[in-house]
Structures are given as structure tokens and as C-alpha cells.
């Protein structure tokens, strides 16, 4: 389950700046999902304080010397003076591709995960409790910026949610309700499932099948599955991050993947207020679900 500290920013513009309510605390996780522009030379994700010190500077860079891999700089700027750079001569964020970045705050350091894998660890040089703002600048397009806690413990990687994942939907699924799901498809994935469930069945099951390269949409009522709707359009890739938004209309569900509408599915006879569970299952590393 996730505990949301403030509403996520969906498709915000860049440069991006947002206050962190109550400042940064141990156990908090910052999730940033987006796409590096093809012409990018660099972009920055900064955690800053009220004095405009950069407490954490996470800076993927691209140059003609390292056109494919690039490198990532970590640093701190206090009183206008930069410290020594900690560099890693590789980047998990190729140009033109989606990326998933998570920063987990621990007592000793920031644990930084990229596309579902622990990428680096940056020891604190300044108190993280002074951080009250996150900023993103540079040649990148943002899809999601979110701040949250995750429980229970023992995640697959720092900041991940246990799968299968279930969350209670309070107040049913009325028109205008949206679900935002962010994660990374496993490299050997066979199938992933996103389901809106009620006590006696499934109102909407959305299942990418990687062996058949299709997305199956269906429902389960009265003890049996309905007629499948299948599509050759596969907006997911093994080993790649994704951002799914399920938008609930009065007569249909609209599904967006990485900010592009890819499928619709007609709503059936289920009373909207009876749908009370969102479930995510299958071969996926899940990092963020809202609400």
C-alpha cells in the first residue's frame, strides 16, 4: 500500500518546481517518470532548501564523447559553492526513451533506483530534513512527479510495491475517477494484469500478454469470463518503464499508456459504487499507484 503525502504532478511542464509539504523525512520516496528528449545534453533533478542550496544534485549528462551511455553526476551546492562530483560513467536513461527514477531517503543516504534497479547511493552532505522543494530542469519531458511512503517493508528494490498489489477504492468508481499506475515491466515478462474488481467479479481486466503481443480486455461476472477484446497494439515493452492512466467515464474506460490513449472498454452492468478494489499483478516491478 502507498501513503500519499501530497497529490502527484501529472504531465507537468519543465522547468518544474514543487514544494515538499512538511519537508523531506526518512522513508519518503520521490518518483520521477518521464522521457529524455532526443537532443538532450543533460537534465537535473535537484532537492533544494529554502536557502537555495542544492542538497542533492542528480545530473545525467550526454556528450559527443559518450553519445550512447553518457554519465551521471551527483553533487551538493552549499552557499553557492559546489562540492566534489561523484560520477558514474553510465546512464540508465538513453535519449528518446522513457525513464523511471526513484529516490529513497534513508538516515545515511539517498538510495537512487533507475528503471527498477538500484543505480547509486549518495551519502548525505547536508541534512535532508532541510529539503523543502524538488526541481527538474533540462531537456526532459515529465509524465509524473510524486512523493509518498510505501509499506509494507521488504520491497523488491528500494521504493517498490509488493506484487500482486491491491488497494481499496473508496466511494466506488464514478465518472471522472482516474487511476495512475507507474512501474517497470520485467525483462522476461509473460503477462501483467490491471483489474478493477468488486465482491463477485471483475468489472474491467486489462492484461498485456507479451508472448502473444496483444492486450486483452475482459470482465468476469456470474462465475464466468466474458468475450475477450484483443488488440495487436502493444504499448508496453519488456524491461521498460510505463505510466498507465485508467480514466473512468460514464459509459467506458479509457486507457492511456505513457500519455497516449491506446484502448477503450465499454462499461457493463456493474453498479459503479460496487467496484472497490484496484489490483495489479503479474511480471512487473510496481513503483507508484494513485489513488
Q: What is the pLDDT of residues 221-266, one digit of tens each?
A: 888 998 999 976 899 999 888 889 998 888 899 999 887 888 999 8
Q: Which of 149, 145, 127 is nearest to 137 (CA)?
A: 145
pLDDT at 159: 57
Give this prediction's pTM.
0.77
Strand partners, 179: 246
Alpha carbon 13 to its chain's center: 17
pLDDT at 154: 43
Give the C-alpha separation, 97 to 238, whole Å: 13
- Let me know: does 54 contact 62? Beta carbons within 8 Å: no
pLDDT digits (tens, 9 = 90+) for 280-289: 999 998 888 8
Q: Which of 144, 177, 182 is nearest to 163 (CA)?
A: 182
CA distances from 209 to 5, 97, 115, 231, 262 (A): 34, 22, 21, 10, 15
Q: Which of 8, 53, 41, 28 is nearest to 137 (CA)?
A: 41
Element (H, E) at 60: strand 54-61
Domain ranges of the chain: 2-150, 165-290
Please give the angle made by the CA atoms of 146, 136 and 67, to the nearest 5 degrees: 115
Give the C-alpha separation, 269 to 284, whole Å: 30
CA distances from 242 to 143, 148, 236 (A): 10, 18, 7
Low-confidence ranges of the chain (pLDDT < 70): 1-5, 64-69, 150-159, 232, 269-273
Fold match flag (2-150 vs 165-290): yes
Give the C-alpha separation, 65 to 82, whole Å: 24
C-alpha neighbours within 13 Å on the C-beta side of residue 166:
6
Alpha carbon 73 to its chain's center: 22
Instruction: Given CATH 2.60.120.200, say whether it is the number of domain 165-290.
Output: yes
Please give the angle made by the CA atoms of 47, 258 and 218, to the nearest 5 degrees: 135
Other residues' Cβ atoms within 10 Å of the Cβ of residue 201 = 18
How far is it between the farthest Cα atoms of the chain? 67
Give the C-alpha separation, 236 to 99, whole Å: 13
pLDDT at 261: 86
Four-way CATH pick for 2-150: 3.20.20.70, 2.60.120.200, 1.10.3210.10, 1.10.3720.10? 2.60.120.200
Arithmetic mean of pLDDT over the chain: 87
pLDDT at 86: 95
Give the C-alpha separation, 31 to 17, whole Å: 14
pLDDT at 156: 46
| Cell triple for 274 | 460496487
Amino acid at each position: 500500500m502507498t501513503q500519499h503525502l501530497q497529490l502527484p504532478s501529472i504531465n507537468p511542464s519543465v522547468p518544474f518546481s514543487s514544494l515538499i509539504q512538511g519537508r523531506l523525512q526518512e522513508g519518503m520516496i520521490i518518483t520521477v517518470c518521464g522521457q529524455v528528449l532526443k537532443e538532450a545534453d543533460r537534465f537535473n533533478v535537484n532537492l533544494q532548501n529554502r536557502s537555495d542550496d542544492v542538497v542533492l544534485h542528480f545530473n545525467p549528462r550526454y556528450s559527443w564523447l559518450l553519445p550512447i551511455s553518457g554519465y551521471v553526476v551527483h553533487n551538493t551546492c552549499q552557499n553557492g559553492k559546489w562540492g566534489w562530483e561523484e560520477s558514474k560513467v553510465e546512464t540508465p536513461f538513453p535519449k528518446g526513451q522513457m525513464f523511471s527514477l526513484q529516490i529513497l531517503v534513508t538516515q545515511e543516504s539517498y538510495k537512487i533506483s533507475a528503471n527498477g534497479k538500484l543505480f547509486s547511493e549518495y551519502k548525505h552532505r547536508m541534512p535532508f530534513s532541510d529539503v523543502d522543494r524538488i526541481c527538474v530542469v533540462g531537456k526532459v519531458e515529465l509524465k509524473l512527479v510524486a512523493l509518498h511512503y510505501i509499506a509494507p517493508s521488504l520491497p523488491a528494490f528500494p521504493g517498490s510495491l509488493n506484487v500482486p498489489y491491491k488497494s481499496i477504492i473508496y466511494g466506488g468508481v464514478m465518472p471522472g475517477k482516474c487511476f495512475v499506475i507507474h512501474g517497470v515491466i520485467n525483462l522476461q515478462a509473460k503477462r501483467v494484469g490491471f483489474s478493477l474488481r468488486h465482491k463477485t467479479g471483475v468489472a474491467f481486466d486489462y492484461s498485456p500478454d507479451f508472448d502473444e503481443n496483444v492486450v486483452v480486455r475482459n470482465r468476469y461476472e456470474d462465475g464466468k469470463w466474458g468475450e475477450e477484446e484483443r488488440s495487436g497494439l502493444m504499448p508496453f515493452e519488456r524491461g521498460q518503464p510505463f505510466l498507465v492512466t485508467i480514466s473512468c467515464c460514464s459509459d467506458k474506460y479509457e486507457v492511456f499508456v505513457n500519455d497516449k490513449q491506446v484502448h477503450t472498454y465499454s462499461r457493463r452492468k456493474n453498479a459503479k459504487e460496487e467496484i472497490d478494489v484496484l489490483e495489479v499483478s503479474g511480471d512487473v516491478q510496481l513503483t507508484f499507484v494513485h489513488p
